A and B are shown apart, each in its own frame.
Chain A
Amino acid sequence: MSVFINKIKEILFSVLPITVIVLILNFTITPMETPIIIRFLIGSVIVIIGLAIFLIGVDVGITPIGNIMGAKIAKTNKVWIVVVAGLVLGFFISVAEPDLQILARQVDSVTLGVISKGSIVVVVSVGIAIMLVIGLIRIVYNFPLYKLLTILYGIIFFIAIFASPEFLAISFDASGATTGALTVPFILALAIGVSKLKKDSKSSEKDSFGLVAIASTGAIISVMIMSILSKTDGITGTLEKEIPSTLIIYPFIHELPIIAVEIMIAILPIVIIFLLLQKISFKLPKKDIFRILVGILFTFVGLVLFLVGVNAGFMNAGSALGFSIASLDNKAYVVIVGFVLGVVTILAEPAVYVLTHQIEEVTSGYVKRKVVMITLTIGVGIAVALSMVRILVPELQLWQFLLPGYMISIVMSYFVPKLFVGIAFDSGGVASGPMTATFILAYAQGAADAIEGADVLVDGFGIIAMVAMTPLIALQILGFIFKRKSQKGGLENNGK
């Protein structure tokens, strides 16, 4: 049973901090209503169990599928197969991604239906599919990641000139929203599967990362282009606000079937494509198939539990927390608590967990999980704190953070070890997962609600974009330190 206990232990370390912090806040500066706190605690327990099952499922089910597919695709040695496979995989995975559905629904409502939900889902999925193909081809043809990223972000900033500020926020948010808890492990595994085949071990290692980053630029570009083509300048309309329920158990039961269906739809394309390819080309032994299917079942159950816990337990707590802290006289609290919440939330993000494990595996433990984790938490903490500053000071615009931020990260990518460039840009998409999208977003919207002059809608968008950006800089700094430190310090010990 040691596997399961070890997983639970690891998960406890990642979920307990957020629980403890919220409880401390509850008993000190911001008392919350009892039902919210009880629901938060129930949510935490469900999240812990769900996350443990999900991560085992990813290990046993999703990662092997991605690896096998990646390796098979690369082994065919034909470009058209890479292109077709990338397009099909990219499209169906993103169409099914629950986060994209949520984003599309939001865009639909704020543009008063000018950009319809259906069209945005399709267009973004096509964008991601095309970028996935480009990313795969990059690995196969050894095109350096930092150059490709420079080109892609160049294009993004060029288009951004024509986009309205509100849509800038939405499109950058899209990059984070579309790389959800299920897509990320799969794309990561796919990249590793392809690049593992390389003879040159150094480039094989660094090419294992970066695919998530490239795929997410597809989302940014397509949302921007859509907003320009449909000539929607401002955003109007309002987000319907949920009235916090005073019932304790009901929200969990209410969320369960909705999320279960969503995840079922999300997981289905991967399973169907896998089973098809299994019939046509993989021909894995029965035992392996069985194992992978069990893994997928785990992934499903785990992810459903996790999301139910987060949506029903964490969301209300987040906005209640944001609202009451922002109502305090001293506004510095919002920023400080924002930082702390950013730090603890990211620990519980499932995709972050998967990424850090992959990093450790690919580098044989040279880049340790803990170091990446610490760097990431600091980065995200700063992102949330800055977002709070932006809510407090209406004059600050999102692009004033994003433009310099991305400029710095692109410039840095020319100097830091290339392995870290991939890791950093991947972690950007990874950090902005379901946990951030619910808890942190709810916190920010709660805060914006309480602050005069802050618009819940406009200020709400853009937070995911921030969370997706700061890790780029934080992890590249880490890469820089690693480079300095790994140099052989002194052969002066010579012969001693």
Chain B
Amino acid sequence: MVNKSEAIDIELICIIINFGLGSKLVKTAKRCGIKGGTVLLAKGTTSNRILNYMGLSDVKKEVVIFVCDKETAIQTLEKINIEFKFCRPNNGIAFTTSICASIGSQNYNCNNIQKKGGVNHTMYHVITIIVEKGRAEDVIDAATKAGSKGGTIINGRGSGIHETSKLFSMDIEPEKEIVIILSEVDKTEAIVSSINRDLKIDEPGNGIIYVQDVNKTYGVYK
């Protein structure tokens, strides 16, 4: 793993949008310089009480996540905001959070995991790994070997720059699995490198890993 630039700030963009628009959004984002995105299916809620009563409370949504540097993130969000009209209600929401380390995304290899102590010291990290469908179990195995207690698997779809193929002008987005692992700060490094070693994440096209700070956890026991 090469630390190209310690200084780059990496951000995670998370966008929740109406069902069916996810692929279009990823396309727009790619035009803005983002290298790849992952789409998850989700359900939203309506606040309309009559509909709730009739059992019609579920609205299908798509959640789209991107990893990119801060500058691209701002540009992309500006563009997406205009194109998908987030300024109006019911069109979707978007937010960004910061990432402290990421592997697998070619341009943004970085490692800013802070090791300073202190009162505000974060106790836990959340490690998110996005891999090809079917490999999530390998990820969990690798993580368990390095001392993780478990993980949660989510299904999604997505594509990076390496896998854009078309079928009758529709983009094919291969299926992905997203693994979320909560780890103690001092184990993060070991878990990440274990997964990296087993799944060869730093080779292109094998998935990405990113690590984020967590402010508080409940339900995690030693």
Contacts and interface: CB of A to CB of B under 8 A. Distances in A.
Contacts, number: 96
Sort chain B's interface into a size bin.
35 or more
B23 A365 contact: yes
Among A3, A56, A61, A496, residue most surrounded by chain B Cβ atoms (within 10 Å): A3
B4 to A, nearest CB: 11
Contacts of B156: 364
Contacts of B205: 488, 491
Contact of B172 (A4, A294, A485): A485
Interface residues of A, number: 41
B167 A56 contact: no
B162 A365 contact: no
Given A371-B167, A488-B163, A202 B46 contact: no
B182 interface: no
B71 interface: no
Among B48, B173, B177, residue most surrounded by chain A Cβ atoms (within 10 Å): B173
A493 B36 CA distance: 14
Contact of A482 (B62, B157, B172): B172
A490 B162 CA distance: 7
Nearest to A481: B167
A236 interface: no
A200 B163 contact: no
Interface stretch (B52-60, B95-103, B191-199): B52-60
B41 interface: yes
Contacts of A290: 55
A2 B167 contact: no
A371 B169 CA distance: 11
B133 A489 contact: no
A371 B41 contact: no
In the A-B complex, the 4 residue pairs with the smallest Cβ-Cβ separation, listed nearest first, are A202-B134, A60-B55, A485-B165, A291-B55
24 contacts: A1-B51, A2-B59, A201-B133, A201-B153, A202-B133, A202-B134, A363-B157, A363-B175, A364-B39, A364-B40, A364-B41, A364-B157, A365-B22, A365-B41, A366-B157, A368-B170, A371-B168, A374-B168, A482-B167, A482-B172, A485-B167, A491-B162, A495-B106, A496-B106
Interface of B: 22-23, 39-41, 46, 48, 51, 54-56, 58-59, 62, 90, 106, 133-134, 136-137, 153, 155-157, 161-168, 170, 172-177, 204-205
